[in-house]
Structure 1
Amino acid sequence: MLSNACKYAIRSILYLAMYVKEDEKVGVKKIAEALETPQPFLAKLLQQLAKNKLVSSHKGPTGGFYLNKDNVENSIWDIIKCIDGTSKFEQCFLGLPSCGDENPCPVHYTVVPFRKKIYADFKDKTIKEFVTEIRQKGRFISLKDFEAVQEN
Protein backbone atom coordinates (compact mmCIF):
# COMPACT_ATOMS: atom_id res chain seq x y z
CA MET A 1 0.00 0.00 0.00
CA LEU A 2 2.87 2.40 0.78
CA SER A 3 5.83 3.00 -1.51
CA ASN A 4 9.34 2.06 -0.39
CA ALA A 5 10.10 5.78 -0.22
CA CYS A 6 7.26 6.32 2.23
CA LYS A 7 8.29 3.32 4.33
CA TYR A 8 11.89 4.62 4.50
CA ALA A 9 10.63 8.09 5.43
CA ILE A 10 8.44 6.75 8.25
CA ARG A 11 11.21 4.53 9.59
CA SER A 12 13.77 7.37 9.46
CA ILE A 13 11.50 9.71 11.42
CA LEU A 14 10.79 7.01 13.99
CA TYR A 15 14.55 6.35 14.23
CA LEU A 16 15.24 10.05 14.84
CA ALA A 17 12.48 10.20 17.45
CA MET A 18 13.82 7.14 19.26
CA TYR A 19 17.58 7.61 19.14
CA VAL A 20 18.46 11.27 18.55
CA LYS A 21 17.98 14.02 21.13
CA GLU A 22 16.94 17.49 20.00
CA ASP A 23 20.33 18.94 20.89
CA GLU A 24 22.03 16.22 18.79
CA LYS A 25 22.10 15.87 15.04
CA VAL A 26 22.78 12.76 13.03
CA GLY A 27 23.98 12.42 9.47
CA VAL A 28 22.16 10.54 6.75
CA LYS A 29 24.95 7.94 6.58
CA LYS A 30 24.33 6.83 10.17
CA ILE A 31 20.55 6.71 9.66
CA ALA A 32 20.90 4.73 6.43
CA GLU A 33 23.26 2.23 8.09
CA ALA A 34 20.99 1.79 11.11
CA LEU A 35 17.90 1.25 8.96
CA GLU A 36 19.67 -0.61 6.15
CA THR A 37 18.35 1.76 3.51
CA PRO A 38 20.08 3.22 0.42
CA GLN A 39 21.91 6.35 1.57
CA PRO A 40 21.48 8.58 -1.55
CA PHE A 41 17.76 7.78 -1.71
CA LEU A 42 17.32 8.42 2.02
CA ALA A 43 19.20 11.73 1.72
CA LYS A 44 16.69 12.98 -0.86
CA LEU A 45 13.77 11.82 1.29
CA LEU A 46 15.13 13.56 4.38
CA GLN A 47 15.60 16.77 2.39
CA GLN A 48 11.98 16.56 1.26
CA LEU A 49 10.83 15.90 4.83
CA ALA A 50 12.90 18.85 6.08
CA LYS A 51 11.46 21.12 3.39
CA ASN A 52 7.97 20.14 4.59
CA LYS A 53 8.95 20.67 8.26
CA LEU A 54 8.51 17.02 9.24
CA VAL A 55 12.15 16.79 10.33
CA SER A 56 14.63 19.47 11.27
CA SER A 57 18.10 19.83 9.86
CA HIS A 58 21.20 21.86 10.34
CA LYS A 59 23.87 22.31 7.67
CA GLY A 60 27.60 22.39 8.18
CA PRO A 61 30.28 20.24 9.78
CA THR A 62 28.25 19.71 12.95
CA GLY A 63 25.00 19.45 11.04
CA GLY A 64 22.57 16.65 10.47
CA PHE A 65 18.97 15.70 11.05
CA TYR A 66 16.90 15.69 14.24
CA LEU A 67 13.35 16.15 15.46
CA ASN A 68 12.29 19.14 17.50
CA LYS A 69 9.28 19.33 19.81
CA ASP A 70 7.02 20.38 16.91
CA ASN A 71 8.23 17.57 14.61
CA VAL A 72 7.29 14.83 17.08
CA GLU A 73 3.72 16.15 17.17
CA ASN A 74 3.28 15.31 13.47
CA SER A 75 1.58 12.09 12.47
CA ILE A 76 2.40 9.19 10.18
CA TRP A 77 -0.37 10.57 7.96
CA ASP A 78 1.63 13.80 7.56
CA ILE A 79 4.57 11.74 6.26
CA ILE A 80 2.34 9.75 3.91
CA LYS A 81 0.82 12.97 2.51
CA CYS A 82 4.30 14.39 1.94
CA ILE A 83 5.84 11.35 0.23
CA ASP A 84 3.04 9.33 -1.43
CA GLY A 85 -0.04 11.50 -1.25
CA THR A 86 -3.36 10.12 -0.04
CA SER A 87 -4.96 8.84 -3.25
CA LYS A 88 -4.07 5.19 -2.49
CA PHE A 89 -6.26 5.37 0.58
CA GLU A 90 -9.19 6.72 -1.41
CA GLN A 91 -9.09 4.30 -4.36
CA CYS A 92 -11.06 1.09 -4.73
CA PHE A 93 -9.16 -1.91 -3.35
CA LEU A 94 -9.81 -3.79 -6.60
CA GLY A 95 -9.03 -0.77 -8.77
CA LEU A 96 -12.58 -0.18 -10.01
CA PRO A 97 -13.17 3.44 -11.04
CA SER A 98 -16.60 3.98 -9.45
CA CYS A 99 -16.55 1.98 -6.21
CA GLY A 100 -18.29 3.41 -3.15
CA ASP A 101 -21.17 2.86 -0.76
CA GLU A 102 -23.63 3.52 -3.61
CA ASN A 103 -21.84 1.20 -6.04
CA PRO A 104 -19.67 -1.20 -4.00
CA CYS A 105 -17.14 -3.64 -5.42
CA PRO A 106 -17.18 -7.23 -4.09
CA VAL A 107 -14.76 -6.42 -1.22
CA HIS A 108 -15.84 -2.83 -0.49
CA TYR A 109 -17.52 -3.51 2.86
CA THR A 110 -14.62 -5.72 3.96
CA VAL A 111 -12.02 -3.08 3.14
CA VAL A 112 -13.81 0.05 4.43
CA PRO A 113 -13.44 -0.73 8.19
CA PHE A 114 -9.79 -1.69 7.64
CA ARG A 115 -9.17 1.56 5.74
CA LYS A 116 -10.90 3.64 8.44
CA LYS A 117 -8.82 2.02 11.19
CA ILE A 118 -5.54 2.63 9.36
CA TYR A 119 -6.57 6.18 8.55
CA ALA A 120 -7.49 6.90 12.18
CA ASP A 121 -4.27 5.42 13.58
CA PHE A 122 -2.06 7.17 11.03
CA LYS A 123 -3.83 10.50 11.39
CA ASP A 124 -4.56 10.63 15.11
CA LYS A 125 -1.36 9.22 16.65
CA THR A 126 1.64 11.49 16.86
CA ILE A 127 5.19 10.36 16.18
CA LYS A 128 5.77 10.73 19.93
CA GLU A 129 2.89 8.32 20.65
CA PHE A 130 4.17 5.79 18.12
CA VAL A 131 7.62 5.86 19.73
CA THR A 132 6.11 5.30 23.18
CA GLU A 133 4.19 2.33 21.80
CA ILE A 134 7.28 0.94 20.05
CA ARG A 135 9.25 1.07 23.30
CA GLN A 136 6.46 -0.37 25.46
CA LYS A 137 5.62 -3.22 23.14
CA GLY A 138 9.13 -4.05 21.91
CA ARG A 139 8.51 -3.37 18.23
CA PHE A 140 11.24 -2.96 15.64
CA ILE A 141 12.01 -0.36 12.97
CA SER A 142 15.02 -2.22 11.58
CA LEU A 143 15.96 -5.83 10.94
CA LYS A 144 19.14 -5.11 12.91
CA ASP A 145 16.98 -4.52 16.01
CA PHE A 146 15.13 -7.78 15.43
CA GLU A 147 18.34 -9.77 14.82
CA ALA A 148 19.94 -8.37 18.01
CA VAL A 149 16.99 -9.60 20.08
CA GLN A 150 17.08 -13.00 18.39
CA GLU A 151 20.80 -13.42 19.22
CA ASN A 152 20.24 -12.73 22.95
Structure 2
Amino acid sequence: MFSKTCEYAIRAMIYIAQQTRNGSRVGIRQIAAGIDSPEHFIAKILQELSRKGLVESMKGPTGGFYLEEASLNRSLADIVKIVDGDQLFLGCGLGLKQCSETNPCPIHFKFKKVRKEIQTMLENAKLGEFIEKLDRNETFLRRG
Protein backbone atom coordinates (compact mmCIF):
# COMPACT_ATOMS: atom_id res chain seq x y z
CA MET A 1 0.00 0.00 0.00
CA PHE A 2 2.83 2.42 0.89
CA SER A 3 6.18 2.74 -0.81
CA LYS A 4 9.15 1.36 1.15
CA THR A 5 10.28 4.97 1.63
CA CYS A 6 6.92 5.87 3.17
CA GLU A 7 6.95 2.80 5.44
CA TYR A 8 10.37 3.80 6.80
CA ALA A 9 9.29 7.44 7.14
CA ILE A 10 6.24 6.52 9.22
CA ARG A 11 8.22 4.13 11.41
CA ALA A 12 11.00 6.67 11.89
CA MET A 13 8.60 9.46 12.83
CA ILE A 14 6.85 7.27 15.40
CA TYR A 15 10.22 6.16 16.80
CA ILE A 16 11.48 9.75 17.00
CA ALA A 17 8.26 10.79 18.75
CA GLN A 18 8.77 8.08 21.35
CA GLN A 19 12.48 8.70 21.90
CA THR A 20 12.46 12.50 22.04
CA ARG A 21 9.38 13.33 24.07
CA ASN A 22 11.61 14.26 27.04
CA GLY A 23 13.50 16.86 24.99
CA SER A 24 16.37 14.66 23.87
CA ARG A 25 17.53 14.06 20.30
CA VAL A 26 18.14 10.82 18.47
CA GLY A 27 20.78 10.07 15.82
CA ILE A 28 20.52 8.24 12.51
CA ARG A 29 22.31 5.12 13.79
CA GLN A 30 19.90 4.76 16.71
CA ILE A 31 16.84 5.42 14.53
CA ALA A 32 17.97 2.86 11.93
CA ALA A 33 18.54 0.24 14.64
CA GLY A 34 15.26 1.11 16.36
CA ILE A 35 13.14 0.60 13.25
CA ASP A 36 15.25 -2.04 11.48
CA SER A 37 16.18 0.07 8.45
CA PRO A 38 19.36 0.77 6.49
CA GLU A 39 21.16 3.86 7.87
CA HIS A 40 21.84 5.52 4.52
CA PHE A 41 18.23 5.10 3.41
CA ILE A 42 16.71 6.50 6.60
CA ALA A 43 19.21 9.38 6.54
CA LYS A 44 17.95 10.44 3.10
CA ILE A 45 14.33 10.09 4.17
CA LEU A 46 14.82 12.15 7.35
CA GLN A 47 16.72 14.82 5.45
CA GLU A 48 13.70 15.24 3.17
CA LEU A 49 11.22 15.18 6.08
CA SER A 50 13.33 17.83 7.80
CA ARG A 51 13.28 20.01 4.68
CA LYS A 52 9.49 19.66 4.56
CA GLY A 53 9.15 20.64 8.24
CA LEU A 54 7.89 17.33 9.63
CA VAL A 55 10.90 16.64 11.83
CA GLU A 56 13.48 18.94 13.40
CA SER A 57 17.21 18.37 13.32
CA MET A 58 20.20 19.85 15.07
CA LYS A 59 23.85 19.39 14.14
CA GLY A 60 26.70 18.94 16.53
CA PRO A 61 27.68 16.64 19.39
CA THR A 62 24.30 16.96 21.11
CA GLY A 63 22.44 17.04 17.80
CA GLY A 64 20.10 14.64 16.14
CA PHE A 65 16.47 14.47 15.15
CA TYR A 66 13.53 15.39 17.34
CA LEU A 67 9.90 16.44 17.26
CA GLU A 68 8.51 19.56 18.80
CA GLU A 69 5.39 19.17 20.94
CA ALA A 70 3.09 20.45 18.16
CA SER A 71 4.44 17.81 15.78
CA LEU A 72 2.98 15.05 17.96
CA ASN A 73 -0.43 16.11 16.59
CA ARG A 74 0.69 15.44 13.03
CA SER A 75 -1.18 12.59 11.37
CA LEU A 76 0.17 9.62 9.49
CA ALA A 77 -1.69 11.05 6.48
CA ASP A 78 0.62 14.09 6.62
CA ILE A 79 3.63 11.80 6.26
CA VAL A 80 2.05 9.75 3.47
CA LYS A 81 1.14 12.87 1.47
CA ILE A 82 4.65 14.30 1.76
CA VAL A 83 6.45 11.06 0.91
CA ASP A 84 4.10 9.28 -1.53
CA GLY A 85 1.78 12.09 -2.61
CA ASP A 86 -1.99 11.85 -2.46
CA GLN A 87 -2.45 9.06 -5.00
CA LEU A 88 -3.46 6.64 -2.23
CA PHE A 89 -6.35 8.95 -1.36
CA LEU A 90 -7.40 9.87 -4.89
CA GLY A 91 -6.14 7.23 -7.32
CA CYS A 92 -7.81 4.38 -9.12
CA GLY A 93 -7.54 0.95 -7.48
CA LEU A 94 -6.38 -0.49 -10.79
CA GLY A 95 -4.05 2.39 -11.59
CA LEU A 96 -6.08 3.68 -14.52
CA LYS A 97 -5.63 7.36 -15.27
CA GLN A 98 -9.05 7.84 -16.90
CA CYS A 99 -11.06 6.23 -14.06
CA SER A 100 -13.74 8.58 -12.68
CA GLU A 101 -17.32 8.74 -11.44
CA THR A 102 -18.60 8.98 -15.01
CA ASN A 103 -16.05 6.53 -16.44
CA PRO A 104 -15.47 4.00 -13.61
CA CYS A 105 -13.16 1.01 -13.64
CA PRO A 106 -14.64 -2.35 -12.49
CA ILE A 107 -13.77 -1.75 -8.81
CA HIS A 108 -14.20 2.05 -8.72
CA PHE A 109 -17.13 2.39 -6.33
CA LYS A 110 -16.02 -0.29 -3.86
CA PHE A 111 -12.42 0.98 -3.89
CA LYS A 112 -13.63 4.55 -3.36
CA LYS A 113 -15.14 3.48 -0.02
CA VAL A 114 -12.00 1.60 1.04
CA ARG A 115 -9.81 4.54 -0.01
CA LYS A 116 -11.92 6.91 2.11
CA GLU A 117 -11.70 4.60 5.15
CA ILE A 118 -7.91 4.42 4.78
CA GLN A 119 -7.70 8.20 4.49
CA THR A 120 -9.86 8.73 7.58
CA MET A 121 -7.84 6.18 9.58
CA LEU A 122 -4.52 7.81 8.62
CA GLU A 123 -5.82 11.34 9.29
CA ASN A 124 -7.03 10.30 12.74
CA ALA A 125 -3.79 8.47 13.62
CA LYS A 126 -1.58 11.07 15.36
CA LEU A 127 2.12 10.50 16.00
CA GLY A 128 1.82 11.13 19.72
CA GLU A 129 -0.80 8.45 20.27
CA PHE A 130 1.62 5.60 19.57
CA ILE A 131 4.12 6.46 22.33
CA GLU A 132 2.36 4.81 25.27
CA LYS A 133 1.55 1.64 23.33
CA LEU A 134 5.21 1.31 22.36
CA ASP A 135 6.29 1.94 25.95
CA ARG A 136 3.93 -0.81 27.16
CA ASN A 137 5.17 -3.17 24.41
CA GLU A 138 1.64 -3.43 23.02
CA THR A 139 3.00 -2.49 19.60
CA PHE A 140 6.42 -2.63 17.95
CA LEU A 141 8.48 -0.97 15.21
CA ARG A 142 11.24 -3.53 14.88
CA ARG A 143 11.40 -7.27 14.76
CA GLY A 144 12.68 -8.65 18.04
Q: Residue 61 of structure 2 corresponds to which residue in structure 1?
A: 61
Helix, strand or coil at the partner of 2:69: coil
Letter in 2 for 1:119: Q
Helix, strand or coil at the partner of 2:57: strand
CA RMSD of aligned residues (A): 1.9
Letter in 2 for 1:17: A
Higher alpha-carbon deviation: 129-138 or 10-19:
129-138
How high is the TM-score relative to the length of structure 1?
0.84
Cα deviation, residue 38, structure 1: 0.7
Are residues 119 and 132 of structure 1, via their aligned partners in 2, closer, same or farther at CA, if it must alter by over 3 Å?
farther
Distance, in Å, in 2 between the alignment partners of 1:90 and 1:47 is 27
How high is the TM-score relative to the length of structure 2?
0.88
Q: Residue 47 of structure 1 corresponds to which residue in structure 2?
A: 47
Cα deviation, residue 34, structure 1: 1.4
Q: Residue 109 of structure 1 corresponds to which residue in structure 2?
A: 109
Q: Which runs of 5+ in 1 are unaligned?
A: 145-152
Letter in 1 for 2:37: T
> Structure 1: which 4+ aligned runs deviate by more than 4 Å?
132-137
Cα deviation, residue 18, structure 1: 1.9
Cα deviation, residue 84, structure 1: 1.3
Q: Residue 147 of structure 1 corresponds to which residue in structure 2?
A: none
Distance, in Å, in 1 between the alignment partners of 2:96 and 2:87 is 14
> 1:19-77: per-residue Cα shift (whole Å, max 9, x none)?
33342111000110111101011011111111112111111011001111121111111
Q: Residue 2 of structure 1 corresponds to which residue in structure 2?
A: 2
Q: Which runs of 5+ in 2 are unaligned?
A: none
Question: Identical aligned pairs, as a percentage?
Answer: 38
Cα deviation, residue 134, structure 1: 5.7
Q: Residue 148 of structure 1 corresponds to which residue in structure 2?
A: none
Cα deviation, residue 88, structure 1: 3.6
Match runs of 1:78-89 below 5 Å = 78-89=78-89
Q: Residue 97 of structure 1 corresponds to which residue in structure 2?
A: 97
Distance, in Å, in 1 between the alignment partners of 2:131 and 2:99 is 36
The answer as to 2:37 corresponding to 1:37 is: yes
> 1:87-116: per-residue Cα shift (whole Å, max 9, x none)?
243221112222222222111122111110
The answer as to 2:13 corresponding to 1:13 is: yes
Distance, in Å, in 1 between the alignment partners of 2:129 and 2:112 is 25
Cα deviation, residue 136, structure 1: 7.3
Helix, strand or coil at the partner of 1:37: coil
